[in-house]
Amino acid sequence: MSVTIQNVSQYFGEQAALSDVSLDVPSSQVLGLLGPNGAGKSTLMRLITGYMSPTKGTVEVCGMSVTSEPLETKRRVGYLPEHNPVHLDMYIQEYLDYVARMHSLSDRSDRVHEIIHKVGLTPESHKLIGQLSKGFRQRVGLAQALIHDPDVLILDEPTSGLDPIQLVDIRELVKEVGQRRTVILSTHIMQEVEAMCERVVLIHQGRLVEDDTVQSFSNQEGGLEAVFQSLGSAV
């Protein structure tokens, strides 16, 4: 398994953001975490990236604990946070070179050019990040998450705020990336899951309430919206 989560709970003070969540994600799968705002999606993703350790339970990436082997597991994970924190006053190449240096990549210049090409940034590659549209900034975010060729890619709301054309482009890119590695993405929009994922995990109030193929969810009467309504929450 690329990612194994066992009996994970996460508390912030008295509040349980996640309660006893277990999940196995194999390689070459695009998995969608779907749930309303506040469900616990970002918290689960941060635990996989090693950004924080779970209050209870274990998280493993490629068979290693993110708590006891933080450096090795971080090398295996690429992360695009919800508010893609790219440096607006840096040039694209300058920023990606900086990220490549943080990962101690030896062939930095080649790798930066390769990843710029892969995410479709070549025509914009001379620009400052602050001069880019939201869709191209999201590509820079994907480039920094992919530059060290991780096995697992974590994308927090990767398509939020994009216009319809940008949306289609980023969806295609995510699907292509997911052919060769594990992708876990979050969204609160059912259509995003249907467009990009093979498998969907529903999270509600910190609990994993459904885990199935997108196909079988879509075949249910009323689809995912009906499932959420039955749980007392709108998607």
Binding site for ligand ADP (CB under 6 A): 12, 17, 35, 37-43
CB count in 10 Å sphere of residue 180:
11
| Shortest spacing between CB 155 and ligand ADP, in angstroms | 12
Looking at beta carbons only, is 34 or 152 nearer to ligand ADP? Answer: 34
Eight-state DSSP code of residue 186: E
Identify the bridge partners of residue 59 per DSSP, sorted by sequence position. Answer: 5
- Candidates 134, 137, 139; CA nearest to 116 is 139
Q: Which is nearer to ligand ADP, 112 or 202 (CB)?
A: 202
Is residue 96 a contact partner of residue 137, using CB atoms and an 8 Å limit?
A: no
One-letter amino acid for residue 187 of the chain: T
CB 103 to ligand ADP: min, Å: 26
Angle formed at CA 148 by CA 74 and CA 213, multiple of 5 degrees:
70
Cβ-based nearer residue to ligand ADP, 105 or 231: 231
Q: 85 vs 130, which CB is nearer to ligand ADP?
A: 85
Give the C-alpha separation, 175 to 23, whole Å.
21
Residue 157 beta carbon to ligand ADP: minimum distance, rounded to whole angstroms: 8
Of the CA atoms within 13 Å of residue 112, those in its CB half-sphere come to 21
Nearer to ligand ADP, 92 or 201 (CB): 201
Report, in Å, the least distance between residue 234 CB and ligand ADP. 14
Give CA–CA dist 135/133, Å, rounded.
Answer: 5
Mention every residue, 6+ apart, whose C-beta is less than 8 A from residue 65: 58, 59, 73
Report which of 74, 235, 53 is spatially closest to residue 151, judged by C-alpha positions.
Answer: 74
Nearest-approach distance from CB 55 to ligand ADP, in angstroms:
12
CB of 203 to ligand ADP, least distance (A): 7
Nearer to ligand ADP, 122 or 191 (CB): 191
